[in-house]
Amino acid sequence: MAEFTLLPIAWVVSTRTVTEDDAWDQERSSLVLDDAVPTEALIGIASFSHLEIIAVAHRVVDGANVRWSRRPRGRTDWPEQGVFAQRNKDRPNRLLSTTVQLLAVDGRELHVRGLDLIDGTPVVDIKPVFRWTGPRTPVVAPEWSDELGRDYF
């Protein structure tokens, strides 16, 4: 199996220091560029309303918490799902992705809303959301996932 090295390009600054499941839209967070990343990497980003953030679940030990299937949030009233049918932090490669609203750019800092990552999380990529990069067909998902997301943001 091939191995990859990912270097942080930014760091999450947030009042949340533990993983919690809900009310992420109430949190205002920042992404602060790593010292190794030049400020010019942010040229043009302020013209976008939303960003895709790719990060590493840095507090999860490799392989220690990965279960290939489980019930979401441990709820017995929801069906067992494979790891790839869920979005939780306990993943084979600890990679997380989320879409946030960009509120402001302040020098080397991006102020965002809806970032479901905790303080100190290393960010490995930031991408703008283009109108045409979203789903081009209707999104279909099971009912349990809609229930899970009702209070998430």
User: Domain locations in the chain?
Assistant: 10-149
- Partnered with residue 102 across adjacent β-strands are 112
Res 119 pLDDT > 80: yes
Q: What band does 91 get if pLDDT is binned at 50, 70 and 90?
A: confident
Which residue did the predictor score with more confidence, 141 or 105?
105
Say what the pTM is: 0.83
Res 64 pLDDT > 70: no
Q: What is the pLDDT of residue 143?
A: 87
Q: What is the pLDDT of residue 65?
A: 61
Which residue did the predictor score with more confidence, 85 or 64?
85
Output phi, psi for 59, to 5 deg.
-95, -5
Quickly tell me which residue has 């349990």 as its tokens. Answer: 144
Matching CATH number, 10-149, of 2.60.40.10, 2.40.30.70, 1.10.357.10, 3.40.140.10: 2.40.30.70
Count CB neighbours of 57 within 10 A: 20
Q: What is the pLDDT of residue 87?
A: 72
| Amino acid at site 80 | E
Tens of pLDDT along 19-61? 666 556 677 799 999 999 999 999 999 999 999 999 998 776 6
Helices (H) and strands (E) in the chain, counts: 1, 8
Determine contact, residues 33/123, Cβ cutoff 8 Å.
no
Q: What band does 126 get if pLDDT is binned at 50, 70 and 90?
A: very high
Task: Please classify residue 123 by burial: count the beta carbons closer than 10 Å to its beta carbon, then call 0-12 exposed, 13-18 middle and 19+ buried.
Answer: buried
Q: What is the pLDDT of residue 142?
A: 86
3-state secondary structure of 145: helix
Output phi, psi for 133, to 5 deg.
-90, -5
Res 129 pLDDT > 90: yes
Which residue did the predictor score with more confidence, 98 or 18?
98
